[in-house]
Amino acid sequence: MKQTAFVLASLLACAATGAGAQTVPAPVQPDEVFSPKDIGHALSAPTPDAGKTAPSAANAPPDDGQWKMPAKNFAATRFSSLNELTPANVKQLQPLLTFSLNANKGQEAAPIVADNTMYVVTSYPNYVYALDLTKEGAPLKWKFAPKPVPASQGVACCDVVNRGGTVDDGKYIFNTLDGQTIALDTKTGKPIWRTLLGNINLGETLTMAPLVAKGHVYVGDSGGEMGVRGWLAALDESTGKLQWKAYSTGPDAEVLIGAEYKAPYPMEAGKDLGVSTWPAQSWKIGGGTVWGWVNYDADLDEILYGTANPGPWNATQRPGDNKWTSGIFARDPASGTARWFYQFTPHDEHDYDGINEQILLDMPFGGKMHKVLVHLDRNGYVYVIDRTNGRVLSADPYGPVNTSRGVDLQTGRLILNPAKETKLGEEIHNICPTASGSKDWNPSSFSPQTGLLYIPHENMCMDWIDMKVNYIAGTPFVGANVHMKPGPGGNRGELTAWDPVRRRPAWVVKENFPIWSGTVVTAGDLVFYGTMDGWFKALNAHTGEALWKYKMDSGVIGQPISYRGPDGHQYIAVLSGVGGWAGAVVSGPIDPRDGSAALGMVSAVSDLPKYTTAGGTLYVFTLPH
Amino acid sequence: MCSRFPISCVAVGLALLAGCSKSSQSAVASAPPTSIPGVIDTALTPGVGHSLTTTNPQAARYYDNADAVTTGKRLFNQYNCSGCHSNGGGGMGPSLMDDEWIYGGRLEQIHQTLVEGRPNGMPAWGGKIPDEQLWQIAAYVRSMSLPATLEAQNGDTPSQTPAPVPREAANDNGWAAPPGTTNHYTSTTEGPHQ
C-alpha cells in the first residue's frame, strides 16, 4: 500500500507529541483578586433579628410532595419539605432504578413529578419520557420524539442541552433545540399544540425551561454567541398562540417599555436606550438572549427574568451600555410591559450573562422586612434586590473577583477595574471570574429552616484577547480568544452555603471540577448535588459535612429533585450525563489539545476526559423499605 | 428497503442494490468505473469489494502550497469557522485537529463538505464563499492535523503555524487501517478515479 509510509509517519508523530490532554494551567494567585470585605457593599448593616427569611406562601405554597416545575415553586427555592431522609439515615440511600435516556449529550433538565408520573426531557433530540411511578420499576407510559431539525445542533453554542419541562393543567410543556415550544397531553403524550418560535438560520435555539403561570407560557431564546437578538415570548397556555414578545434590545416599542416603566437608577432611564446605547444598527444583532430562569412573583403579580450577554464578546465593536443586556426585567405578566430594569453589567466585556436564577424571599434588611430577590450573577456578586423597585440592597462577591470593585449602591453601577477590561489584540491575563462566571445557569436552592442559600458554582479565571469578528447570520459572532484556568486554590468548583442576611458564607465545600449541577435542599437538612466527574453527593445543610455519595455512570450537570412516591416515601431523582459548556470536552467531539476550544473552557477542564465519559441516565434513590 | 428483504437483495444483487443507494445513477458495475459523479465521502462502495476514491483535478495545486494554508487560516477566522471549530479543537462543531475524518480527509472531500454542508450542523457555504477560498480553507483544515503543524504548536492554541499539505496526504482518505495492522484480505482502497 503506497500510502503506508505517510500514514505511519503521521501516526508516529502523533504518538511522539502525545494525543492526551494539555496540562491544566496553574491557578491564579490569591493576591490577584479583591478581598470580599473591600468590594462587598450594603445599604445598611445586617439586622437578622428583624424577622425570619422565607418565601411568601403565595410564591411557595405548602409542599404537596410533587415537583411540577424545575424550580419547585414560583419563589424558586428548590426546597423539599420531605424529611424522611436525614443526616442519620442518608448513608443507607441507594438507587432504586435507573433508566437510559438514549441521548448522550449534557443532561441539564430536572425530572418532573406530577400525579405519580415522572417526566424527563433529554438533551437533543429532546425525547420526552413519562414513567409510571405506581408500578414496580416505573415502566414507560409513553415516549415522545419531537424530531428537531438536526442542523440546529450547529448553532447551539455550548452543547445541545435542555433545562427541563413543566407540568400544568394536564400538559407537559417543554422546548426543543430547533425552536419549538410543545405542550403534550400528560395522559397520552400526544401534542396539544406546537409553536415554532426560533429560527436556526438566525442562530436562534431554545434550551431554557419554560415557566408556566396564570395561563401563560414564558419562553426565551438562546444564541447569544450567534448574534441573535434576545426576546421573551408569552404564549397562551391552552392554545400555544403568541400573546406578546418583548425584545432585549431595540426601540422601546419593541422592548415593551412604556408609561408603566420606572427606572430604579438614572442609568436605566431614557428613551429608546436599547438603540442609543449601541453603535448604529448593532442592537439588531446584540444578544441579550433569555435562556435562563423566569420567575412569576405572585406577591407583586409580575414576572422577573435576566437577559444574557451583549454580542459580540469583543466589546470594542459595541461601545455603550448595550441596553438591555446583562440585566433583569420586571414585567406585567399579562401585557409584558416593563415595570423596571436593572443592569448588573453595563457594556459587558467578559460574557457575564444576567440569566442566572432569582430566589424570591421575604427578608430582614435595614431593620424591617423586605420583598427581595436574591440573584447569583455571573459577574461574581450575590445581589439582594428590592423586587418592588429594582434597587440593590446589597451586593457581595461569592467567588474570586477582580474585574470590578463592587457595586456603587448610589448609582447602581458596577465599578469596573480598568486593568481587567478586555482589549483588541492585547491578551489580558488572570481575569476573574471567568466567562462562564462565578456560577453559570445551574440553580441554587434555599432552605427556610437554615436560612441559607446553597450555591453550586465555579472558581475559575481566564486570559482573553479581543479579535475583530464579522457578522454572518447563522454563524458564531464572538470575536474573542479565551483560555480559562483554575481560580485561587486550584479547586475549580465550590458549593457555598451563603447567608443572605449576614452577607457571608456559612461554609464552603471545594470540588476539583466546576459544579455544573443544581442543588436541592430538604427538610431533613440535606443538600444534594452532582459533580462533573460523576459523584452524586449529600451534605449536612448546617455544616457542609459530607454524608453520602454515589458514583454515577457519567458526570452530573442536572437538577436534582426530591418527591414523595405513591408509597408515601421520599425519593431523590437526578439525571446523569456530563456535557454543557463545561463538559463539552467529554460530550462533544472536542480535542483537549486546543485550550481555546469550546469558547476557552477546554483549557481549564482538559483533564475531564480522564474521569468520565458521556452518558444519559435517570437515577432514582430511596432508603431500603 | 433492503433490510426488509435481505434474501431477495442478495439474490437479485446488482439491480436491487442500485435501487437501495440514493446516489447510484445506474446498476453497479463489477469493473472500476472510469467516471464517478460527485465526490465519494464514504469507505463503502457497493459491488466492487473495496473502497473507491474520486479526485478533482482542481485539488492538485493546493498540495505543497504554503500560501494556501496561511490564506486558509486567515479565511477560517474571517468566515467564523473558528467560532465553531475554535483553533481546530472544536466546540459547536467537531474537532479538526484529530485524525478522524467523518466525510473523508482528502482536499476534494473537505471541499465538498464546505460546499454542501452536513446535516448535523455544518452550514452549506457553496455560493457564499468564492470557490478558490473554499479550497484554501480546505487546505488549512487538512493542515491542522498534520504532524508538522502539531509539532509547531507552542502553548495550547494550535494551528497557528500551519504546515503545507503534502501531496502524500492525498493518499489517505482517513479510513485506511492503521499501520501495523495485519491485513488478511487483499485490497482496501483503489483509486483515485476521476
The string of pLDDT tens digits covering residues A299-316 is 999 999 999 999 999 999
Domains of chain B in start order, with CATH, are 59-169 (1.10.760.10)
Contact by Cβ (8 Å): A445, A77: yes
CATH number of the domain residue A446 falls in: 2.140.10.10
The pLDDT-based confidence of B17 (bands split at 50, 70, 90) is very low
Residue A103 lies in a domain: no
Residue A356 lies in a domain: yes
How many Cβ pairs within 8 Å bridge chains A and B?
A: 157
Contact by Cβ (8 Å): B82, A598: no
Query: Taking CB atoms and an 8 Å limit, are B188 and A1 in contact across chains?
Result: yes
Contact by Cβ (8 Å): A530, A537: yes
Q: What pLDDT, on a 0 to 100 scale, did the predictor assign at position B187?
A: 54
Provide mean pLDDT across the span B151-162.
92
A62/A81 Cα distance (integer angstroms): 8
Tell me how close the Cα of B6 comes to any Cα of chain A, in angstroms: 28
Nearest to A514 by CA among A396, A445, A433: A433
- Selected residue of B55, B82, B86 to mutate for chain A interface (largest A Cβ count, 10 A): B86
What are the cell numbers at A472? 454572518
Query: Taking CB atoms and an 8 Å limit, are A593 and B100 in contact across chains?
Result: no
Contact by Cβ (8 Å): A229, A312: no
Give A-chain residues touching B166 at CB under 8 angstroms.
6
Strand A617-622 and strand A94-100: pairing? antiparallel
Give A-chain residues touching B145 at CB under 8 angstroms.
10
Give B-chain residues touching A436 at CB under 8 angstroms.
none
Residue in B147, B148, B156 nearest the CB of A594: B156
Closest alpha carbon within chain B to A157: B92
Query: Taking CB atoms and an 8 Å limit, are A152 and B78 in contact across chains?
Result: no
Tell me how close the Cα of B148 comes to any Cα of chain A, in angstroms: 8
**Domain of A258, in residue numbers:** 22-89+119-406+421-622
Query: Taking CB atoms and an 8 Å limit, are B168 and A3 in contact across chains?
Result: yes
Angle, nearest 10°, between helix axes B107-116 and B131-143?
Answer: 120
Place of cell 426576546: A231
The β-bridge partners of A217 are A212, A235
Strand A520-522 and strand A79-80: pairing? parallel
Query: Taking CB atoms and an 8 Å limit, are B99 and A14 in contact across chains?
Result: yes
What does the CA dihedral A5, A8, A14, A19 come to, rounded to 10 degrees?
150
Between B176 and A146, the higher pLDDT residue: A146
The pLDDT-based confidence of B45 (bands split at 50, 70, 90) is confident
Q: What pLDDT, on a 0 to 100 scale, did the predictor assign at position B35?
A: 65
Our CA angle for A305, A542, A395, nearest 5°, is 35
The H or E element spanning position B78 is helix B66-78
Average pLDDT for runs of 10 along chain A of length 625: 38 37 88 97 98 98 98 98 98 98 98 98 98 98 98 96 98 98 98 98 98 98 97 98 98 98 98 98 98 98 98 98 98 98 98 98 98 98 98 98 98 98 97 98 98 98 97 96 97 98 98 98 98 98 98 98 98 98 95 95 96 98 96
The H or E element spanning position A16 is helix A4-17
Query: Taking CB atoms and an 8 Å limit, are A154 and B121 in contact across chains?
Result: yes
Our CA angle for A394, A400, A401, nearest 5°, is 65
Q: What pLDDT, on a 0 to 100 scale, did the predictor assign at position A131?
A: 98
Q: Does A4 touch chain B (CB under 8 A)?
A: yes
Tell me how close the Cα of A579 comes to any Cα of chain B, in angstroms: 12
Q: What pLDDT, on a 0 to 100 scale, did the predictor assign at position B191?
A: 52
B27/B69 Cα distance (integer angstroms): 40
Query: Taking CB atoms and an 8 Å limit, are A597 and B89 in contact across chains?
Result: yes
Residue in B86, B117, B147 nearest the CB of A597: B86
Average pLDDT score over chain B: 81
Q: What pLDDT, on a 0 to 100 scale, did the predictor assign at position B155?
A: 86
Provide mean pLDDT across the span B111-126.
97
Tell me how close the Cα of B92 comes to any Cα of chain A, in angstroms: 6
Amino acid at A202: L
Amino acid at A21: A
What burial letters (b/e) apply to B85-108, b meaning 16+ CB within 10 Å? bbbbbbbbbbbbbbeebbbbbbbb
Contact by Cβ (8 Å): B56, B111: yes
What are the cell numbers at A220? 426565551
Query: Taking CB atoms and an 8 Å limit, are B179 and A11 in contact across chains?
Result: yes
pTM higher than 0.80, yes or no?
yes
Residue A61: Cβ within 10 Å count:
13
List, by residue number, the catalytic residues of A: 225, 309, 351
Contact by Cβ (8 Å): A283, A250: yes
Q: Does A7 touch chain B (CB under 8 A)?
A: yes
Domain count for chain A: 1
- Taken in order B117, B123, B125, B126, the sign of the CA dihedral is positive
What are the cell numbers at B123? 452550514
The β-bridge partners of A374 are A359, A384
- Selected residue of A2, A470, A593 to mutate for chain B interface (largest B Cβ count, 10 A): A593
What is the biggest distance separating any 2 CA atoms in chain B, rounded to whole angstroms?
A: 58
Tell me how close the Cα of A392 comes to any Cα of chain B, in angstroms: 36
Query: Taking CB atoms and an 8 Å limit, are B171 and A6 in contact across chains?
Result: yes
Q: What pLDDT, on a 0 to 100 scale, did the predictor assign at position B190?
A: 55
What are the cell numbers at A100? 437510559
A201/A402 Cα distance (integer angstroms): 37
Q: What are phi and psi of B145, to 5 degrees?
A: -100, 5
B92/A590 Cα distance (integer angstroms): 9
Residue A310: Cβ within 10 Å count:
36
Q: What are phi and psi of A286, to 5 degrees?
A: -95, 5
SS3 B136: helix
Residue A78 lies in a domain: yes
A590/A350 Cα distance (integer angstroms): 23
What are the cell numbers at B122? 455544518
- Selected residue of A594, A599, A605 to mutate for chain B interface (largest B Cβ count, 10 A): A594
Residue in B87, B95, B121 nearest the CB of A155: B121
Place of cell 472558581: A459
Nearest to A401 by CA among A29, A31, A33, A40: A33
A16/A8 Cα distance (integer angstroms): 12
The β-bridge partners of B74 are none
Closest alpha carbon within chain B to A606: B156
B15/A412 Cα distance (integer angstroms): 75
Residue A211 lies in a domain: yes
3-state helix/strand/coil string of A578-608: CCHHHHHHHHCCCCCCCCCCCCCCHHHHCCH
Closest alpha carbon within chain A to B93: A154
Provide mean pLDDT across the span B148-174.
92
Query: Taking CB atoms and an 8 Å limit, are A593 and B121 in contact across chains?
Result: no
Contact by Cβ (8 Å): A399, A459: yes
Q: What part of A 9-28 touches B (C-beta under 8 Å)?
A: 9-11, 13-14, 17, 19, 22
For residue B91, give Cα distances in angstroms to A198, A227, A584. Answer: 21, 17, 7
Residue A16 lies in a domain: no
Q: A613 exposed, middle or buried (CB, 10 Å; 0-12, 13-18, 19+)?
A: middle
A464/A451 Cα distance (integer angstroms): 38
Q: Is the peptide bond before B164 cis (omega within 30 degrees of 0)?
A: no
Q: Does A603 touch chain B (CB under 8 A)?
A: yes
Query: Taking CB atoms and an 8 Å limit, are A478 and B147 in contact across chains?
Result: no
Q: What pLDDT, on a 0 to 100 scale, did the predictor assign at position A524?
A: 98
SS3 A376: strand
DSSP annotation string for A474-528: TS----EEEEEEE-TTS--EEEEEEETTTTEEEEEEEESSPP-S--EEETTSEEE
Query: Taking CB atoms and an 8 Å limit, are B123 and A474 in contact across chains?
Result: yes
Q: What pLDDT, on a 0 to 100 scale, did the predictor assign at position B188?
A: 55
Residue A12 lies in a domain: no
Residue in B80, B146, B172 nearest the CB of A475: B80
Q: What pLDDT, on a 0 to 100 scale, did the predictor assign at position B173?
A: 81
Residue A528 lies in a domain: yes
Q: What pLDDT, on a 0 to 100 scale, did the predictor assign at position A9?
A: 38
